[in-house]
Every structure is written in C-alpha cells, then in structure tokens.
Copies of this chain bind each other. A is one copy, B any other.
Amino acid sequence: MKEIKLAVIYYSATGTNYQLAQWAEAAAKERGVEVRLRKIKELAPMTAIEANKDWKEHFENTKDVKEVSLDDLEWADAYIFSAPTRYGNLPSQFTQFLDTTGGLWFSGKLANKVVSGMTSASNVHGGQETTLLSLYKTMFHWGAIVAAPGYTDDAIFSAGGNPYGVSVTAGKTNLDEKIEKAVAHQVKRTLQLAKWIKNGSN
C-alpha cells in the first residue's frame, strides 16, 4: 500500500479559510498521512491589508506558514484547496497561483491528482456553490480527479449540505464542530480516492 501525500493549500484574508485548512491538516494527520499546509501568496498591497484590522492581524499571525510552490503540487497525490469567494469566483491570489502551473500541466504532472475544495462567503448564498464549481472547472482542464463530497456522509447535511465541498459564512462564530466534522469527512474521502488511484495507477 503506497503512502498518500496531501497538500492543503489555502488563501485566507481574515482567517476563515485558514481555520478550514487547519482542520483539514489535522484530519489528515490523524490518519497518518504526510501533509503540507501551505498558504497562497498575498498579492494585495500593504496599504489594502493595513486598512482592514482583521486582515492585518491574520497576515501577521500567519507569517510563518510556508507559501505554496509548484513543487508542492508535484509532490502531493491529493490537494485540499480552500479559498473565499470573490463575486462567485476564486480570489485573484488563488488564480494567480493556478496561472503559474502551465509547465506542470503541459508535462501531464497534474493529471490524476485528486482534489477537493472548501470555501466561504460573507453571505449565506454569496458564492458558496459557484466558487467551488469554478475551481473544479479548472481541475477538469488539469485532468485532475474531483473528490466532491456529494451526500456521502451525514456530516455533510449537518454542515449545510453543500455537495461540492464544505462551505461557510465567513466569520469565526460560524466555524463550529459541525463544520469541523464535515471537513474531516471531506479529507477522508479525498484521501481514500487518492489511495485507490495511486495504488491502481502504479
């Protein structure tokens, strides 16, 4: 049985998706999986960051989290991506990272990677579904395999029933145990699929 390696890659401005990513990391570690937790590089100017107290604080607090590199994509068998919505699409920080993957894509190294996504929005229905579909669209171009949770566990229903991935309304008070459990299930499912594919394809 080959070992699965997981990269949890997130972008977070004020901490919601960082929390989701940390839960994903913890759930994977609990399963004995090697995990890299990586943040996506901030592109916004310091003036923008400093104008928002929560953003500034989060930015400072996560200075030590390693920034994602293309090597992380190549290294891992599976990715958990987490990022807030920006008008129903992914944040530019996130797409900027995706835009640098042309070389890996061209050489076929992103094919059959297993991927699952999480997201947040300010409103209850402010892009929780559509942002994940934007991500998965790109994954199809990569030839990656999407591990959407569907309704494969009761934890999904309790967390809002988003079949595309865990999604929350931004803000710490919405990050409760139900969400944490849904994240853990999504990680479990992603790793399981990655294991099947890795064992089969090697």
Q: Mark A65-103, 1 if CB is under 8 A from B, else 0.
A: 000000000000000000000111111100110110000
Q: List 21 A-B contacts (CB under 8 A).
A: A86-B98, A86-B138, A87-B98, A87-B138, A88-B140, A88-B141, A89-B137, A96-B96, A111-B150, A126-B141, A126-B162, A127-B129, A134-B134, A140-B148, A143-B149, A143-B163, A145-B145, A146-B146, A196-B196, A196-B201, A200-B200
In the docked arrangement, what's the CA distance between A152 and B142, Å?
8
Given contacts A140-B148, A151-B105, A200-B196, contact A167 B133 (CB under 8 A): no
CB-CB under 8 A for A127 and B145, given A87-B98, A99-B92, A134-B134: no
A62 interface residue (CB < 8 Å to B): no
Cβ–Cβ < 8 Å partners of A89 in chain B: 89-90, 95, 98, 134, 137-138
Known A-B contacts: A89-B134, A123-B160. Give 20 more (CB < 8 A). A43-B43, A87-B142, A88-B134, A88-B137, A89-B95, A89-B138, A123-B161, A124-B124, A125-B161, A125-B167, A126-B162, A126-B163, A127-B141, A129-B129, A136-B140, A140-B150, A141-B150, A143-B150, A145-B147, A193-B197
